[in-house]
Structure 1
Amino acid sequence: MQSLQTTRLSSKGQIIIPKAIRSLHGWENGQEFIVEETEQGILLRPYKPASLPKTTLAQVAGCLKNRYQGKAKTIEEMDAAIAQGIRDSGQ
């Protein structure tokens, strides 16, 4: 696939990617790109942060197994600890 279109560099250093190309690739406002310098110019590649593998609740809970050795906490105790953590962080 090759599409040749022209664009201009603005006084702020911005380049507009033509709408047809943005639509073709599904790029929305805020899309991040990796800018790579090549012998022929620059290459823009969409930035895709690494995602965590999908897991089940059982897998997550399994990694916590045998970690906490104290008495089981109630929902109320957990809520109070979370609220205290928020207060302590100043948020």
Structure 2
Amino acid sequence: MATTRLEKGGKLCLPHEMLDAHHWNAGTEFVVEDRPDGLLLRPLNGELKPVKETATGHSSVGRDRALADAMRSRYARFGH
């Protein structure tokens, strides 16, 4: 079993073995669900691709914000 430690600012570092096994790279966005037995972490929309930066140096996440909001609403509706 792998362990990690909560850092300043609420950051968690996941073990490299898990990142490699799931093909998660810097910039990958996750949905975090609060469950009775702990937190559930999974990639947003099941995609394992990292977020790419635009020519301005900003991520393209803004375009997907409506999708992320819709997913959060869906999970809240179904009591997750």
Could you tell me the TM-score, scaled by structure 2's length? 0.55
Q: Report the Cα offset of residue 35 of structure 1.
A: 0.4
CA radius of gyration, larger in: 1
Structure number with the bigger relative contact order (C-alpha 8 A, sep ≥ 6) is 2
Structure 1: gaps spanning 5 or more residues:
51-91
Q: Deviations over 1:56-80 (max 9, x none)?
A: xxxxxxxxxxxxxxxxxxxxxxxxx
Note the aligned Cα RMSD (angstroms): 1.4
Out of 16, 35, 44, the position equivalent to 1:19 is: 16
**Bigger helix fraction:** 2
1:8 aligns with 2:5: yes
Q: Percent identity?
A: 38
Paired residues for 1:30-45 under 5 Å: 30-45=27-42
Instruction: Give structure 1 regions of 4+ aligned residues with deviation exceeding 6 angstroms.
Output: none
Partner-residue secondary structure (3-state), 1:29: coil
